[in-house]
A and B are shown apart, each in its own frame.
Chain A
Amino acid sequence: MPTFKLDGKEIPFEPGDTIIKAAWRQGIEIPHYCWHPGLSVAANCRMCLVEILPAANQRAMMLDILEWDAALNDYKPIKKPKLQPSCQYAATEGMEVNSDTSSHVVDARKAVQEFLLLNHPVDCPICDQSGECKLQDYWLDHGQYKKRMRDEPVHKPKAVVFGPTIVYDAERCVMCTRCVRFMDEVAQDPVLDMRERGNLNEISVAPGRQLDGHYTFMTEHVCPVGALTTKDFRFKARVWFLRTVPSVCQGCATGCNAHLDFDPRYNKAQRYRPRDNEAVNKFWMCDEGMLSYHRAHDGRITEPKVGGKTVLTTVALEEAKRVLGSVAKESIAIVLSAQHSLEDNWALQQLGSKLTGGAGVYMTSSITDGYEDTILINRDKNPNTNGVKQLAGDVKPFATLMEDIAAGRVTHVIALGGETPGGVKDLEVLGRVSSMIVVASHEGALTKMARVVLPAASWAETSGTYVNAKGMHQVADKALELEGSSKPGWQQLAALGAALGVDTPWKKLKEVRAQLPAEAKPAPSPGATPAVTANP
């Protein structure tokens, strides 16, 4: 691989890479606002300027500037080299680039920082971006000057509602056009543009339109400052109180990698942020996915129930034993769930095979034929359909379960997950089941009709593995503490097995994972983008 030198360090690059991109691959950040690895190059912020040393037989291009000489009491003409934007300049073999080590670059960065903050309202105390704002970070890293412009800054529109999800503050905007380029290039809906000129510039929505569609949250996500905020997160939390864990979006079979940000003080999930993964979602997530963190708290099953009434776990397990005690094995259906993790499904599969001999295994799921697009959104709204299929190759579809119930071949059900593809339409048939035992994290048709419900931890409360549409195993880590009496699904199923007199010896997640069949074992997801963890 060819290399060039950045501040004396060898940086390998792929042909066509720009300086900033090659450095970014190595985990070295050249400061920037407008550049984003997933968007086209705009080179308008001028923060990433670097000094490129001339080749041996060439002279550097020098520019005439002035320096005030106090001793002379006059200006002194001096020269400075022409700097180049590293986001635009292609890396070439043997090139020598000075970034942090060039005094000209240091000066230029400081100047750009001062220019950007010239008319900025500096309303950090009431700004949602505060704490994760490039203006703040770079001021500390590259600014640290005393403010020279003490006049009234330019005023521009504030709190402009761009659409159902996004609010814009033109005074905070640095005009990097990342949002404009995102809508053009990724969302393929060129609804944003810039209007006016000079320092009166502002981002605006196309006349007659609003910023809507399936990817509006990403405009906020790419915004390096607090100009774009989401109505969902606005004024809700200060980011320095939040902790984050790597998670996997549960909204569809794409399995977008996400950061789940939560407030540990209140055990509350506050938002998702996309987690870069070149092989899955690149840098993006859809709006539905971005909002799906709400499911960490909404529609949850948190207490055991018998006949709809909240009871103690021991009571629920007793009831399960009572209703299943004398039932013929072939009348019991084992229903795996595309909504639950590989670990939970494995536990139920183990329980089922010991209880019924492994026949009659079905799969439930949420909607499987919803909205889809060619960007990220999969029509299958379940995070783990492939995981269930890998575990139980001969798993029967939910429709077959409904037929078998209607025909009386299935009278009892042990199910994982509350949701069914048909929702309320499934209630009538499910009502014909004599008794249903459901282990679930969320409410659905199954929990509604169940005799016994055991609360399972949601994806946010326990580590779990999910297999996406591409067959990649991805782990969502534990963020929140367990809510109510819920326990990880595999743990509830172990307790259920014990109550039913079945040997269910697994006690730790490690043990469960060790026993997952080889093809269903979680592997580190491939193609994860490099060590730069902060927002690019």
Chain B
Amino acid sequence: MIRKTDFLTRTYDKPEGWTLPVYERLGGYQAVKKALGMTRDEVVNEAKKANVRGRGGAGFPMGVKWSFMKPHPTKPAYLAINADEGEPGTHKDRTIMEQNPHAVIEGCIIGCYGIGAHVASIYVRDELHLSKKRLWDAIKEARAKGYLGKRPFGKDYPVEVYVHTGAGAYICGEETSMLNSLEGKRGEPRLKPPFPAQAGAFGCPTTVNNLETIAIVPTVFGMGGEEFSKLSTLHGINDGGARLFGVNGHVKKPQIIELAVGVTMNELIYDIGGGVLGDKKILCAIPGGSSTPVLRPEEVVNVTDEKSPLFQWNGKSVFDVPLGVDTMRGVGTMLGTCCVTVLAEGTCPVLAMQNLMQFYHHESCGQCTPCREGSAWLDRTLQKILDGQASMADLDALGDIANNIMGNTICAFGEGTAMPALGFLRKFRKEFEQYVRGEKKGSEARLTVQ
């Protein structure tokens, strides 16, 4: 069900929409006053009620994450905002930073208060220069007004927000890797435990939230957690509110749009995205960033357990299931960042997989063995398949390699590589075999619609 909202996007495309006066005119910086009037526990409880699932890809409930923060006897707490948006096919955080930076700042103030931190650092991907500038400008405006600083809104609770230029790579979007990078270290994931809530930035308790997650916080407190959650048709399975949905790839109108949770992939592609380029059929779609396994429209939900939340969609195409954290998990993929990438019929899934694996090969930090060597081996083998130099044994090796990366690495990058690889293999084995048998040529493979 499509239900448009504009909590985050109301400033989009407005003249000077990223400035403080416009933000305030549209109702900004009201929710923070309400939040600062509550106790810390009340703030965390309100956040829990909102059922905001982390927007970074893992979908961890934001309120629950906040509740992990316990005051430390000697160490300060930090809020770290992950804006190292680099997942292929994901392009949502950037729009917020560029067009609604004050929502981020307001969210940071509430977030800091909720977790007991006085400092929030926003780690922004290096290449997003305009985003960094807009955030800095917003911070300056908020400081000048006294919204940031010693007494935000008259409350004796100092809050400062900083923008930290990413100095790394894709891997710095992994939360502990980001903390290392924030500290000036090599951007490599840390061993867990300890988790950031125990020992995060500079060894201090830290909450890491995705930028979109923190930007929606003012909305949550403006309308009340439960009210917000009820916007979603998946409110019943703790997946609440509204979020940014992206649609890209072979669609007529690729875009970012804010919708209440509950929209299906078909609605997103056809009603929002305007359908597939050249009115072709959908070959497959990646639900939310390249790490999420691909779905084909022919796939149907096959749940026999009546108690399963997916039972009501049993027998339907997976493209008609509402995009939610648990619903997508139920159909064998992940919601991820909620930016759907569409591949039209006629494009090559083998080339698509090679394209993704080339990315993971290039971006593996190289810390642990299976990912370092496995991602490169996948890429190399796929290249051989496209070049027509691979044997069936090479094709069979692909599955083995991905199986052996899966779960055996320090961070989730390993699964992020293995899951889409296994997805493509399982769903497009025939196409791979065609290349091995010489029935298709890599030079004729395309990722563009003719």
Contact = CB atoms under 8 A, between A and B. Distances in A.
Interface of A: 41-47, 49, 63-68, 74-75, 77, 80, 82-83, 88, 107-108, 111-112, 115-116, 118-119, 148-149, 151, 154, 174-175, 193-194, 196-201
A199 B384 contact: no
B344 interface: no
Contacts of A66: 399, 402-403, 422, 425-426
B66 interface: no
B329 to A, nearest CB: 11
Contacts of A80: 403, 406-407
A142 to B, nearest CB: 13
Pick the 4 closest A-B CB pairs, nearest first: A111-B404, A115-B373, A201-B366, A198-B364
Nearest to A119: B373
B169 A197 contact: yes
A95 to B, nearest CB: 16
Contact of B362 (A45, A49, A198): A198
B55 interface: no
A175 B366 contact: yes
B113 to A, nearest CB: 34
Contacts of A197: 169, 171, 363-366
Contacts of A108: 404, 408
A112 B186 CA distance: 24
B399 A68 contact: yes
Contacts of A49: 408
Contacts of B366: 175, 194, 196-201
Contacts of B410: 43-44
Interface string B182-200: 0000100001000000000
A75 B425 contact: yes
Given A44-B369, A194-B186, A63 B380 contact: no
Contacts of A67: 399, 403
B243 interface: no
Contacts of A45: 368-369
A152 B77 CA distance: 49
A174 B372 CA distance: 10
Given A149-B377, A193-B186, A115 B369 contact: yes
A75 B426 contact: yes
B190 to A, nearest CB: 10
Contacts of B367: 44, 175
The CB with the most chain A CB atoms within 10 A, among B191, B362, B396, B399, is that of B191
Contact of B397 (A42, A82, A115, A148): A148
Contacts of B332: 64
A68 B426 CA distance: 9
B370 to A, nearest CB: 6
Interface of B: 169, 171, 186, 191, 332, 361-370, 372-377, 380, 384, 393-394, 396-397, 399-400, 402-404, 406-410, 415, 418, 422, 425-426, 429
B89 to A, nearest CB: 21
Contact of A115 (B399, B402, B404): B404
Contacts of B415: 63
Contacts of B418: 65
A65 B361 CA distance: 20
A63 B407 contact: yes
A198 B368 CA distance: 9
A110 to B, nearest CB: 9
A42 B332 CA distance: 32
Given A65-B402, A199-B373, 18 more contacts: A41-B191, A43-B368, A46-B369, A63-B407, A66-B402, A67-B403, A68-B399, A74-B429, A75-B429, A80-B403, A80-B407, A112-B370, A116-B369, A119-B373, A151-B384, A197-B169, A197-B366, A198-B366
Contacts of A88: 191
B409 A199 contact: no
Contacts of B407: 63, 80, 82-83
A345 B341 CA distance: 83
Contact of A199 (B169, B364, B396, B403): B364
A345 B175 CA distance: 64
A153 B445 CA distance: 27
A486 B169 CA distance: 65
Contact of A44 (B171, B361, B368, B426): B368
Nearest to A88: B191
20 contacts: A44-B368, A45-B369, A49-B408, A65-B402, A65-B406, A65-B418, A66-B402, A68-B396, A75-B425, A80-B407, A112-B370, A115-B370, A115-B404, A148-B394, A175-B367, A197-B365, A198-B366, A198-B376, A199-B361, A199-B366
Contacts of A112: 369-370, 404, 408
Contacts of B369: 44-47, 112, 115-116, 174-175
Count chain A CB atoms within 10 A of each CB in B364, B374, B408, B426 and give the residue with the most.
Answer: B408
Contacts of A107: 404
Contact of B361 (A75, A198, A201): A198
B362 A65 contact: no
Residue in A41, A49, A111, A199 whose Cβ sees the most chain B Cβ within 10 Å: A199
B302 to A, nearest CB: 12
Nearest to A174: B369
B360 to A, nearest CB: 9
A111 B429 contact: no
Nearest to B190: A43
Contacts of B370: 46, 111-112, 115
Contacts of B186: 193-194
Given A44-B367, A199-B366, A116 B373 contact: yes
Contacts of B373: 115-116, 118-119, 199
B390 to A, nearest CB: 10
Contacts of A82: 407
A175 B426 contact: no
Nearest to B374: A115
Contacts of B364: 197-199
Contacts of B429: 74-75
Contacts of B422: 64-66
A112 B405 CA distance: 9
A72 to B, nearest CB: 11
A197 B363 CA distance: 7
Nearest to A200: B366
Contacts of B396: 68
A67 B429 CA distance: 13
Contacts of A75: 399, 425-426, 429
Kindly name the residue among A41, A193, A201 whose own CB sees the greatest number of chain B CB atoms within 10 A: A201
Contacts of B375: 198
A119 B374 CA distance: 11
A478 to B, nearest CB: 43
A199 B191 contact: no
Most chain B Cβ neighbours within 10 Å, of A42, A115, A196, A201: A115
Contacts of A83: 407-408
Contacts of B362: 198
B279 to A, nearest CB: 31
B156 to A, nearest CB: 41
A77 B408 contact: no
Contacts of B368: 43-46
A196 B403 CA distance: 26
